[in-house]
Structure 1
Amino acid sequence: MEEVTKNGKILNRKIEKMTPQQKINRLVNLIGMTDIKVVDITTHNSGTAENLTESRITCALEHKDAHLYYILKRHPGRTIVFCNSINSVKRLAQLFTLLKCRPLPLHANMAQRQRIKNLERFRDDPHGVLVATDVAARGLDIPNINHVVHYTLPRTAEGYVHRSGRTARASAEGLTILIMDPSEAYNYVKMCRTLNKTSDIPTFPVEAAVLTPLKELMVVARDLEALEMKKRKFAQAQGWKEKAAREMDIIIDDDDVPVKQVDSSIEKALKAKRRQLEAMLSRPIYPRGFSFKYPTLNDTTAFQSSEENALQVMKKAIESGQLKKEKRKSKNAPLLQLQKKLKQ
């Protein structure tokens, strides 16, 4: 046990794994509180709003961008995409700008005026996309947010609750989608345990046949993004060199031309990659296995926005999943009864 001196110093400190309730009990004993009252304003002991529908998508790390693009294009609506770092926000904002999704970044390193401007644009656009860090998880009251997408698993369960709380406000309904890769599974289980979830978060339905062309599109977009980053770095290096030369009154010789030649080669590669991406975006995206020879025999058409919103699709998926479970239970009922009789 820990010993606490009169000065408040803790002796013989030992790190123990405790549940949230055990932590609260220890804190109460440490402070010496009596006659404790607990005020629980939630109707179900998970911290999230009752009218919030939760869902998740599990995929490889390199396929997260394709799944996010699928959500934004298949189910358009006012959407906040949360990331854990500023670098992730910048990368997604640049990538999805190339993909013509018009994302608006929001993070702590932005000027206050630019943050307010982006929030106003997001509020005025019914299909707006805000890519943000946890700076947007609290204190923002933007009405009619349809979806909250966790691009990365929040660092804490509290962060998940606050992020998800941007939608389903007041009496409105909302949907939250967690995009997670296998490396986040351990922290995901910890988060569910902290939120007292008795079952797994249901899976958001994604048309697998459409993902293959979307993954190919992401490869081209990421290549273009990498080339643009390379061009910016060369421009910064050249600018720094010229600035330093001016400050030291040094005349730049023609020997420094190779940097510009490299820059011109990047420009050529950029133009070719832009044309390739523009061509891919201008064409309809057809699912894998689509027959152009016999188009009437296809089960699905070209990839486009759905008439049903994401919340309706998810509710149907949950209902169908529950029906399947009930059918399995009814089929296995005679066998279970027989097993009980044999045990007796």
Structure 2
Amino acid sequence: AMDRFREKENGILVATDVAARGLDIPGIKTVVHYQLPHSAEVYVHRSGRTARASAEGCSIALISPKDTSKFASLCKSFSKDTFQRFPLENSYMPEILKRLSLARQIDKITRKDSQEKAEQSWFDRNASSVDLVTENYDSEEEQVNKHRQKKASSKKLKNLQTELSMLISRPLQSKTFSHRYLAGAGVTPLVQEQLQELARQKLSDRKGAVFGKKGKLVVIGQDCVDALHALRSAGEEVRMDIKDSTGRQRNAVSSKRKRKEEKTRLRDQRKKKKRDVNQDDE
């Protein structure tokens, strides 16, 4: 994996915090924090993979609503009250969400299958260590149902993987883009070149190219842009109100606790009412 990452000009490497501590790869331009670090030290350590030897780099953090307070504290530790929001083109999101949905379904099925195999392997290993003979006490009907479920799950997994491979092999297209209605004045030289590349890619697929193999063309309507350049040219500066963020987080926690207490109270009332009815019947 490391060799392939070094060889590619625009390679992507996914690493955990533990693995990243031992990595020292020159020329990294962008670091994406999929999960917000718990401390400023870890954030600096991750981001320090970029901008080495007087070079420039870009650090992008994915912030969910529940991470707002943590991110505000992180900004405070660096004496920052503003940050730049990375520019995103939302017109591509429907196509991206399709791919994510398929990937999640595939992960759910494979994770469940792996967990069941691990549990069975653990049980067999421990039974063997104490010389226990394991038997299947399921009825014939239960065994047939399990076999059918496993077969259906395997078929669904294969279909999902095929569909995802097909989508990945195609370039991303904006939801506003139409192949049928191409206005001559609206087709830029970049789009024209990309459409020609797409036509060549489709022709190659018809001639028996490897199915699911990703082509060179990744996105229609946009060129490959350096993340730091995109941030500088279109990044929006946002002011972080630490007190307001902390207050919103505190209110959210309080509201969640109140909803939980109300739910518990209603459940206790139903139980009490049911007991009273049973006592009256007696």
| TM-score tier (shorter) | 0.5 to 0.7
Contact 2:31 2:60 (8 Å CA) reproduced: yes
Q: Kindly report which structure 2 residues correspond to 1:129-208, keeping only aligned pairs within 5 A, or say none.
A: 129-138=12-21, 140-197=23-80, 199-208=81-90
TM-score (norm 1): 0.51
Letter in 1 for 2:152: S
User: How much has 1:240 moved relative to structure 2?
Assistant: 4.6
**What is the CA–CA distance in structure 2 between the aligned matches of 1:236 and 1:217, rounded to whole Å?**
28
TM-score (norm 2): 0.61
User: How much has 1:253 moved relative to structure 2?
Assistant: 7.0
Q: In the alignment, what sits opposite 1:211? A: 93
Task: From the superposition, tell whether residues 245 and 307 of structure 1 become closer, same or farther in structure 2 (CA, over 3 Å).
Answer: closer
Task: From the superposition, tell whether residues 163 and 290 of structure 1 become closer, same or farther in structure 2 (CA, over 3 Å).
Answer: same
**What is the CA–CA distance in structure 1 between the aligned matches of 2:118 and 2:143, rounded to whole Å?**
15
Task: From the superposition, tell whether residues 278 and 137 of structure 1 become closer, same or farther in structure 2 (CA, over 3 Å).
Answer: closer
User: How much has 1:124 moved relative to structure 2?
Assistant: 3.9
Q: In the alignment, what sits opposite 2:233? A: 316
Q: In the alignment, what sits opposite 1:257? A: 143
SS at match of 1:129: coil
Q: Does 1:275 align with 2:158?
A: no
Contact 1:213 1:285 (8 Å CA) reproduced: yes
**Structure showing greater relative contact order (alpha-carbon pairs closer than 8 Å, 6 or more residues apart):** 2
Task: From the superposition, tell whether residues 174 and 136 of structure 1 become closer, same or farther in structure 2 (CA, over 3 Å).
Answer: farther
Task: From the superposition, tell whether residues 139 and 284 of structure 1 become closer, same or farther in structure 2 (CA, over 3 Å).
Answer: closer
Letter in 1 for 2:30: H
User: How much has 1:242 moved relative to structure 2?
Assistant: 5.2
- Identify the structure with the greater strand proportion: 1
Q: Does 1:235 align with 2:117?
A: yes
RMSD: 2.9
Contact 1:231 1:263 (8 Å CA) reproduced: no
- Identify the structure with the greater helix proportion: 2
Q: In the alignment, what sits opposite 2:176? A: 289
For residues 29-59 of structure 1, give each alpha carbon's deviation from its aligned partner in whole angstroms, at most 9, with x where no partner exists: xxxxxxxxxxxxxxxxxxxxxxxxxxxxxxx
Gaps of 5+ in 2: 195-218, 238-282
Task: From the superposition, tell whether residues 196 and 173 of structure 1 become closer, same or farther in structure 2 (CA, over 3 Å).
Answer: same
**What is the CA–CA distance in structure 2 between the aligned matches of 1:233 and 1:136, rounded to whole Å?**
24
Aligned length: 202
Q: Comparing 289-298 with 308-317, which one deviates more in the overlay?
A: 289-298
Gaps of 5+ in 1: 1-117, 323-344
Task: From the superposition, tell whether residues 139 and 280 of structure 1 become closer, same or farther in structure 2 (CA, over 3 Å).
Answer: closer
Letter in 1 for 2:105: D
User: How much has 1:143 moved relative to structure 2?
Assistant: 0.2
* Percentage identity across paired residues of the two chains: 35
